[in-house]
Homo-oligomer: A and B are copies of this chain.
Amino acid sequence: MFPKNTWYVACTPDEIEGKPLGRKVCNEAIVFYRQADGSPAAVEDFCPHRGAPLSLGYVSDGKLVCGYHGLEMGCDGKAVAMPGQRVRGFPCIKSYATVERHGFIWVWPGDKDQADPALIPDLHWAHDPEWAYGGGYYHVRCDYRLMIDNLMDLTHETYVHSTSIGQKEIDETPCTTKVEGDHVITSRFMNELPEAPPFWKLALRGHGLPDDQRVDRWQICHFNPPTHVMIEVGVALAGHGGYDAPADKKVYAIVVDFITPETETSHHYFWGMARHFKPQDPALTVAIREGQRKVFGEDLQMLERQQANLSTWPERKLLMLNIDAGGVQSRRVIDRVLAAERSASADRLAAASTAEMAK
């Protein structure tokens, strides 16, 4: 169960550089490629000739060519040409709305007509020279909602990430969750910590600040539908206002999490960090990215084994504690989005039926 009439991150630009990419999104098997004008395109990964996956083909002058018998597929799912053949009568395949923006390729796996690029979230940091971004990808074999739960409840850091970003104070400090429309916010402010955990010591040093002093630390998790989680994170030298401290007394960043359902029990996880300190330091970008890769890798076994347990005992109800409020509220938003999607679909069907009868 995932919203389909919405934008998801499909891939990063490097994944379609010079070749097509086959990737399943929301149970849709899609091939992504870059056209001659530079814009991305996305069609079903199924050649209408003999069913070969188009992603095994190649891109020539921005045209997608089947690697089996040379059928050239258009970005609208209609065959354009094939050696020695007239393709006009060939059956069409699905095409998908896709847009490149903010350093990602986005896809709308549902009804193409409803795809409005204005609905793609605005990522200000992606275009601001005072910010730098680095990130990566994991394929995760669990329901995308387990990943949202994970990111909206950071008390797990104390346990899963005890050697990097975890510290005892996280699960000792209460968090608060509030919901503003479809926006869920879970915040935790930890003040006067005796020291920063290892990852933030690295960041402090990177920003030219001492790493052995008392700090204030914050984690503000933002969920927005369908599945995006942005976490404002940082530490400030104690006594300077914490989250509101001036830029030269704190290190401030956003943990970026785009969670794209693949199937009911697997998803694509695009993780990264946008930081608001030392943006012109590519070595720091690499160091942070590799640190994150290790940290997020620690979650994978837990999430995949959790999924296995839940698949074994589908009837067992999970607890919903205060620390789980972020995930619980996010799931409620998703449920509302799904209900709205079903309702809109029923309305369109009814309207179509009325129009038909009026003829």
Contact = CB atoms under 8 A, between A and B. Distances in A.
A56 B302 contact: yes
Interface residues of A, number: 50
A50 B159 contact: no
Contact of A306 (B53, B158, B321): B53
Given A69-B159, A149-B50, A159-B69, A171 B84 contact: yes
Interface string A41-60: 00001101111110011000
Interface stretch (A131-139, A222-230, A238-246, A312-320): A312-320
Nearest to A298: B67
B309 A51 contact: yes
15 contacts: A45-B309, A49-B318, A50-B306, A50-B319, A51-B316, A65-B159, A69-B153, A69-B155, A70-B155, A70-B159, A82-B321, A83-B171, A84-B155, A84-B171, A85-B322
A321 B52 contact: no
A316 B93 CA distance: 11
Contacts of A51: 306, 309-310, 313, 316, 318
A294 interface: no
A66 interface: yes
Given A52-B302, A53-B309, A68 B321 contact: no
A156 interface: yes
Contact of A46 (B69, B156, B309): B309
Interface string A278-316: 000000000000000000000001100110111011001
Contacts of A172: 83-84
A67 B309 CA distance: 15
A174 B84 contact: yes
Interface string A15-50: 000000000000001000000000000000110111
A93 B90 CA distance: 51
Contacts of A70: 155, 158-159, 171
B68 A306 contact: yes
A29 B149 CA distance: 24
B302 A29 contact: no
A82 B156 CA distance: 12
Interface string A155-167: 1101110000000
Given A84-B172, A84-B174, A46 B316 contact: yes
B156 A321 contact: no
A186 to B, nearest CB: 14
Interface string A122-158: 0000000000000000000000000001000101101
A29 B50 CA distance: 31
A323 interface: yes
A257 interface: no
Interface string A252-295: 00000000000000000000000000000000000000000000
A46 B313 contact: yes
Contacts of A302: 52, 56, 67-68
Contacts of A158: 70, 83
